[in-house]
Structure 1
Amino acid sequence: MSAVYQLSSCIEWQFAEAGEFDARLRAAKSAGFALAEFHLWRDKPIDSMAKALAETGMRLTSLCVDPRRSIVDPAEREEMVTAIRETIAATASLGKPNLIVASGFRVEGMSEEEHFANAVAALRAAADAAEAAGVMLLLEPLNTKLFATMYLVSTKLGLDLVEAVNSPNLRLLYDVWHSAVMGEDMAQVLAGRIHLVAHVQVADMPDRNEPGTGSLDWSQVTRTLRDLGYSGAIGLEYFPTLPMDQSLKLSQQSLAD
């Protein structure tokens, strides 16, 4: 689609007029997408989606581990690892997509060092399960505007955690919108570490809509990604303000190299 990057439709928010999620996959394919992604899986028609993927030749780039559990609260670690294992098993029929892990919220009274150590221990256990299954986990930093007490709201911290766990099956999901909300300098936080990033998602500031509808400089974003060496897919995780054919066209134009 783009001169460099394949674009992945977030069917959680896009093609909703098509109805159920297997129909959204087919609609995305008809619109020109080869890739798609969504959020939680337990409320989705997995068997029907697997059939739609097989029939269309589409591929899922990512979905979220479900249920979401904390990586920093030891009381939730067993449930978190169980959620990883159950998500791996339940979504294998979808082509073993990348699985997104969020951090959970800060634990009152816990030091930064303890938060970090707990996160590394939980992610190490999760990575063991991912390695055994041949699945990639994506750790996603979010932002304090949406989640005031979320632990992981820093790209640098996320990359530090990925480095500390040191697993080939754990990488970072870099979300341009979350990063911009936190006021990060994209080139600075990713410099020398793009090899630790396995997926990128985009939306414009401030309202999380299509690239080209807000204040971000998308030529700079794509140039930065190219210069750093990113060559993976770009997930269009935004709320469309236009019909999807127009929305996709604007995204393609904005993200063109």
Structure 2
Amino acid sequence: MSASYPLSSCIEWQFTEAGELDARLRAAKAAGFELAEFHLWRDKPVDALAQALDETGMRLTGVCVDPRRSIVDPAEREEMVTAVRETIAATAKLGKPDLIVASGFRVEGLSEEEHFANAVTALRAAADAAEEAGVTLLLEPLNTRLFSAMYLVSTKLGLDLVEAVNSPNLRLLYDVWHSAVMGEDMAQVLAGRIHLVAHVQVADMDDRHEPGTGSLDWTKVMQTLTDLGYSGAIGLEYFPTLPMDQSLALTRQKLG
């Protein structure tokens, strides 16, 4: 039997009927959540979110580094590290959530070795900033269906980068949907390395909706996480197709 994991609502896409993001946070609390996450912060009501977090006692499991800048393009490295530092400062009032980093796009003319070396250099600098602030960065592999030229679209490569940087303040965000789109074997790519994964997100195949609406075997997914020893939260990063109460009931049933 799989373990029961705490669930985090992606209020970027969920509880939208409540209105602004702080109202969605309160709606998520009313629906039984203690955890939530969203994407970029510069266009969000950060002060209102801070107040809602204080009132509800909820905790954020992830916010994206904003603006997004490349970890593989040396021309963007300084901007990338600056974005990390500015995001750390801006989200301190939100409880110092983990901060999500995407790789950016491949750079024409660079070899695989050069892409990797550039990524390690940028991530080391970013991890140093995170360590100073007591914050964790989450490196997220995406997929080529959404982003054909994205550099990091492999869980193995993401874990290799985390290992190469070798910082306790850099970990991997494993997204079940992105991984499935790329045809990865979840148990194989995470075997022996689950300690490097600090957050997991879920959505069903093929269309990124709630678990139970697509083709993924959720009993197997959840059992695999348990067998590997994952001990974090599960982020519900999906587009609901049902009213939220029904969507959550189906999701909770599928995730156990």
Q: Which TM-score applies when normalising by structure 1?
A: 0.98
Secondary structure (helix, strand or coil) at the match of 1:142 reads: coil
Deviations 1:102-158 (A, max 9, x none): 000000010000000000000000000000000000000000000000000000000
Matched, 1:80 2:56: no
1:189-204 superposed matches below 5 A:
189-204=189-204
Aligned position for 1:140: 140
For residues 18 and 25 of structure 2, the distance between their equivalents in structure 1, rounded to whole angstroms, comes to: 9
Aligned position for 1:22: 22
Counterpart amino acid of residue 199 in structure 1: H
Instruction: Give the number of aligned pairs.
Output: 255
Q: After the TM superposition, which segments of 4 or more aligned residues of structure 1 sit over 3 Å from their partners?
A: none
Aligned position for 1:250: 250
Secondary structure (helix, strand or coil) at the match of 2:213 reads: coil
For residues 183 and 72 of structure 1, the distance between their equivalents in structure 2, rounded to whole angstroms, comes to: 24
TM-fit CA distance, 1:4: 1.5
Secondary structure (helix, strand or coil) at the match of 1:123 reads: helix
Matched, 1:219 2:237: no
Deviations 1:76-115 (A, max 9, x none): 0000000000000000000000000000000001000000
Where do 5+ consecutive residues of structure 1 fail to align?
A: none
TM-fit CA distance, 1:48: 0.4
TM-fit CA distance, 1:228: 0.1
Residues 57 and 144 of structure 1, relative CA distance in 2, 3 Å threshold = same
Q: Provide the alpha-carbon RMSD of the alignment.
A: 0.7
Contact 2:205–2:215, Cα closer than 8 Å, also in 1:
yes
Contact 2:139–2:173, Cα closer than 8 Å, also in 1:
yes
Contact 2:3–2:223, Cα closer than 8 Å, also in 1:
no
For residues 57 and 103 of structure 1, the distance between their equivalents in structure 2, rounded to whole angstroms, comes to: 32
Counterpart amino acid of residue 112 in structure 1: E
Aligned position for 1:210: 210
Aligned position for 1:171: 171
Counterpart amino acid of residue 106 in structure 1: R
Secondary structure (helix, strand or coil) at the match of 2:135 reads: coil
1:85-100 superposed matches below 5 A:
85-100=85-100
Counterpart amino acid of residue 214 in structure 2: G
Secondary structure (helix, strand or coil) at the match of 1:158 reads: helix
Secondary structure (helix, strand or coil) at the match of 2:142 reads: coil
Counterpart amino acid of residue 112 in structure 2: E
Secondary structure (helix, strand or coil) at the match of 1:249 reads: helix
Aligned position for 1:65: 65
For residues 9 and 230 of structure 2, the distance between their equivalents in structure 1, rounded to whole angstroms, comes to: 19
Aligned position for 2:109: 109
Matched, 1:234 2:219: no
Counterpart amino acid of residue 167 in structure 2: S
Secondary structure (helix, strand or coil) at the match of 1:8 reads: strand
Contact 1:4–1:231, Cα closer than 8 Å, also in 2:
no
Counterpart amino acid of residue 216 in structure 2: L
Identity fraction in percent: 86
TM-fit CA distance, 1:3: 5.5
Contact 2:3–2:226, Cα closer than 8 Å, also in 1:
no
Aligned position for 2:31: 31
Q: Which TM-score applies when normalising by structure 2?
A: 0.99
TM-fit CA distance, 1:10: 0.3
Secondary structure (helix, strand or coil) at the match of 2:158 reads: helix
Secondary structure (helix, strand or coil) at the match of 1:91 reads: helix
For residues 97 and 246 of structure 2, the distance between their equivalents in structure 1, rounded to whole angstroms, comes to: 27
Where do 5+ consecutive residues of structure 2 fail to align?
A: none
Contact 1:12–1:37, Cα closer than 8 Å, also in 2:
yes
Contact 1:25–1:52, Cα closer than 8 Å, also in 2:
yes
TM-fit CA distance, 1:166: 0.1
For residues 159 and 97 of structure 1, the distance between their equivalents in structure 2, rounded to whole angstroms, comes to: 21
Counterpart amino acid of residue 40 in structure 1: L
